Every structure is written in structure tokens, then in C-alpha cells.
Amino acid sequence: MITAPKLRIEGYVIVSAEGCLADSNGVMPDVLKFKGDQQFFEGALDRAALIVHGRNSFEDQPNSPKRKRLWVTRHVAGLAPDPTNDNALLWNPAGASFEHACQAIGIGDGAAAIIGGPSVFEMFLDRFDIFWLSQAPHVNLPGGQPCFPGVPERSPQQILSDHGLIARETIELDAANEVSVTAWQRG
């Protein structure tokens, strides 16, 4: 059970028309990268107290080395230092709670930004305070990797709604390509 009462849990993803976050090779293609969305994402991560992601979802931004992060992996039993990064811990949710991981890395309040991939998003679907869903409606990724387990049988929006999140504001990020981000908030 994930409990961290003072942390605000936030999700971030950009998806194609089919709700995919990566192409059929499991790679996020350049066609899914838009300056407006990347600036929005980078600004949000600069404000976050903690970043959480799986092995292939490192954000690789200029400030990345300064950020506290939990690197989700099955290669440790619970929690372990990241030998390559003093600001990171390796975390296996099967062996340590999210609260324990936050305590271990010294983060008790502020925002925890969950940035993927799909199975990491899934772990937090019942816990997100807000999920920022960016959409690129003119990008098609046939056979691509769905952003959440359960897509495409259900849309990303339906899955967020099924987990108690409600669409609030939508912000335009790239007018020419009709890319926007919608804030899905709990209750």
C-alpha cells in the first residue's frame, strides 16, 4: 500500500492519438516531442521534490543530476543506494513501501513526479492527486506502447476516470500541432 500523506503525487505523460507513449520498438520517437510540452514537463520537474521512474523513463534534462529520484527496479530486494548517483535510490516496490522509500531518500513533502513507464504509472493510479495528460492528436504510433495497462481497450482518459480522477483545466502547449495538456484531479 502506497502511503505518503504530505506528498502530492503527480503524473506526467504525453501520448499519441492511440494513447501510446512510445512506438512499436518501445522507444519514445521524436515525433512525440514538442517544445511546448517539453518546457512544461521540465518546469514541473524543476519544482518537484522527488522524481520516480522505471529503467527506461529517465528524463535526461539539464537539471536531472540535481534531482532526488527513486529508480524503480526488480534488481534490488527493497531499497539500495544507486552506485552511480548520490541523489538516487534503487527501489523495488515489492520489498519496500513508497513511504519507506520517501523516508529513506529524505523527502516528506512537496510533489513527487511519477514519469513512467506504464507499470510505474499503474502502481500510482489510485494515489495520484493530479495527472497531467498531454495529448498529441495528430501523432499516430501504430502498434505502439500504451501509456497504461488496459489501453487501447479503454482510453487513457477512461482509465484515469475509472481511478477517480476528473478532467479540469486544459492548457494549450503547441497550437500548430494542437498539443495540449489536461489536468486530471482527484475528486
Ligand X SMILES: NC(=O)c1ccc[n+]([C@@H]2O[C@H](COP(=O)([O-])OP(=O)(O)OC[C@H]3O[C@@H](n4cnc5c(N)ncnc54)[C@H](OP(=O)(O)O)[C@@H]3O)[C@@H](O)[C@H]2O)c1
Residues that bind ligand X (CB under 6 A): 13-14, 21-22, 26-28, 32, 53-57, 72-75, 92-93, 115-120, 123, 145
Q: How far apart are the first and last CA of the chain?
A: 20
How far, in Å, CA of 49 to CA of 18, rounded? 31
User: 3-class SS at 85?
Assistant: strand
Q: Which residue is nearest to ligand X (CB)?
A: 54
CB of 117 to ligand X, least distance (A): 2
Closer by beta carbon to ligand X, 59 or else 68: 59
Please give the grid coordinates belonging to residue 116.
513512467
Q: Which is nearer to ligand X, 117 or 156 (CB)?
A: 117
| Closer by beta carbon to ligand X, 57 or else 180 | 57
Return the number of the residue (109 or 149) whose C-beta is nearest ligand X.
149
Write down the least CB distance from residue 170 to ligand X, Å.
17
Nearest approach, Cβ of residue 131 and ligand X (Å) = 12
Distance CA 125, CA 118 (A): 10
Q: In angstroms, what is the minimal distance from the CB of 122 to ligand X?
A: 8
Determine the Cα–Cα distance for residues 134 and 138; give it in Å rounded to an integer: 12
Least Å distance, CB 105 to ligand X, is: 16
State which residue, 54 or 156, has the beta carbon closest to ligand X.
Answer: 54
Residue type, 152: P
**121/81 Cα distance (integer angstroms):** 23
Q: Give me the phi and psi of 31, to 5 degrees please.
A: -65, -15
Residue type, 71: W
